[in-house]
Structure 1
Amino acid sequence: MNEVLASIAVAVVSSLAVPVLFTVPGFLLYSAYTRGLRSPEPHDRLFLARTVVGSLIVHSLALPWTFRLIEGLREGTSSAWEFAVWALVVLIAAPVLAGSIAATAVRLRRPRWVAAALDYTALAHHIRTPDAWQWHFSRRRPDFVRVHLKDHRVVLGYLGSRSFAASDPSRRDLFLERQFMPGTGKVYGPPVPSSDGVWINGDEIAFVEFHGAGRQDRGDAGDKEVPGHE
């Protein structure tokens, strides 16, 4: 009876091992590669193809280690701890690291031949990003912004590390950590008293102006740094 249960357990583990080995690394790699981006969900075949290809890439890089581990298991020199470390690195850590490195690499625009190669293979950041909203906000650059609403109101604010821009195409709301009162003309006035930020409904936004995080005009005060600038 014990032998039968052991055989069943081995069969179950073996049947689960193959899907895990060839889906988990690819899924984690692609998730890390597309982190921070929102796009339509891929259909089942494309999702399966991406996960399998990603898993094959990871396993190809780890092939020498895998062969040594298998050989050690045959000779009885490998321990359970070594197998656990292999699983942690190859199935989890390596895919996440590889995806993050790839996502950083595709943002490169220099040298020119690298940019041309990325454009040709459709891996460049501006190609893999579905729209201009996500392209700009995914760069996480601090900006002083002027948000024009559809009812012709204007909101002046600062987009910093504690701000947020939704990446969901159906809900493009914006949270600015600081809000400023309007100055004379198209300039930033003083901060709104006791303000802890401002939330703006994406449906009300007509367009947004970005003025960088440098120095901005403040009316009569001339070319001075905006209050609260970090």
Structure 2
Amino acid sequence: MPDLKDLNSIYLIVAFVVPGLIATFVRAQFINGRIDKMTDTVLGYLVITLIYYGFSIPVISWILTFEQGLLKTALWWGLTIVGPACFGLLLGVAAQHGWLRWMAKKLGLRVVHGTPSSWDWQFANCYAARFVMVTLTDGSSIAGIFGTASFASTDPTERDIYIQEVLDVDANGIWNYRSEPSGILILAKEIRAVEFMKEL
């Protein structure tokens, strides 16, 4: 680990770790909203930074043409902070839409999925409101609508879910709206399965 008392080490960290950290953080907001501990992923940040710099070579060459001054310093900071945020945004959107997996498939490659769990993947891809049926650990079920006012936790230690409107299911399996709409919070320890029905 570099000595943070050394100014050159700080410059190296800013140049080769911070862009990857920023890009990873922004990308994570489109997948599960969390990133690993920095001590565990410094090498990953370095790799993402190097890939980012690879795409940024034309911009770097352009910045080098400027005389030393405030504008050149601002451009360097933009390259180190704003650029990685935009790169992370692109990576996040690409991950959500599966663009990189699509390209890999076209090339006959199989890549590991970037989303850590099926829970994160499913709820990240709920673009429209839909009917859901939650089976509880005691065998009972709760039917409802999972829409824009609903929420599913991305915390891996607490997979609770809030359903914005609970529906009643009669003996014939018909789903009925309640006269007074109400939502429900279901704790992770109570959930056995979540079944996704058709979109509204």
How high is the TM-score relative to the length of structure 1?
A: 0.71
Q: 1:86 aligns with which of 70, 76, 80?
A: 76
- The letter of the residue matching 2:80 is L
Q: Which amino acid aligns with 1:200?
A: I
1:32 is matched with: 26
Q: Tell me the matched-pair count.
A: 194
**How big is each residue's C-alpha offset from its partner over 1:12-68, in whole Å with a ceiling of 9 and x where there is no partner?**
654422211111111111222233327894683x51211111111222322333334
Letter in 1 for 2:90: I
- Alpha-carbon separation, structure 2, partners of 1:37 and 1:112: 18
Structure 1 pair 212–33 and aligned structure 2 pair: CA distance change class (3 A)? same
Which residues of 2 match residues 1-230 of structure 1 at below 5 A? 13-35=7-29, 36-37=31-32, 41=36, 44=39, 47-73=41-67, 78-88=68-78, 90-108=79-97, 114=103, 116=105, 120=109, 122=111, 127-141=113-127, 142-191=129-178, 193-195=180-182, 197-214=183-200
5+ residue gaps, structure 2, are: none
Q: Using the alignment, how far apart are the partners of 1:118 and 1:143 within structure 2?
A: 34
Cα deviation per residue 1:130-170 (whole Å; 9 max; x = unaligned)?
A: 22211211113322111111122221111111211112222
How far apart, CA to CA, are the structure 1 residues paired with 2:149 and 2:91? 26
**CA contact 2:20–2:49 (8 Å) conserved in 1:** yes
Q: Highest relative contact order (Cα 8 Å, sep 6+), 1 or 2?
A: 2
Please give the alpha-carbon distance, in whole angstroms, between the structure 1 residues aligned to 2:193 and 2:11: 51
> Structure 2 vs 1, CA of residues 25 and 43 (structure 1 numbering), >3 Å: closer, same or farther?
closer
1:171 to 1:119, Cα distance in 2 relative to 1, 3 A: farther
Looking at structure 2, the residues matched to 26 and 43 of structure 1 have their Cα atoms a distance apart, in angstroms, of: 11
Q: Distance in 2 between matches of 1:110 and 1:100?
A: 13
SS at match of 1:162: coil
Q: In structure 2, how many angstroms separate the alpha carbons of the residues matched to 1:65 and 1:29?
A: 17
Matched-pair identity in %: 24
The answer for unaligned runs of 5 or more in structure 1 is: 1-10, 215-230
| AA at the equivalent of 2:54 | S
Report the counterpart of residue 219 of structure 1 in structure 2. Answer: none
Alpha-carbon deviation of 1:172?
Answer: 0.9
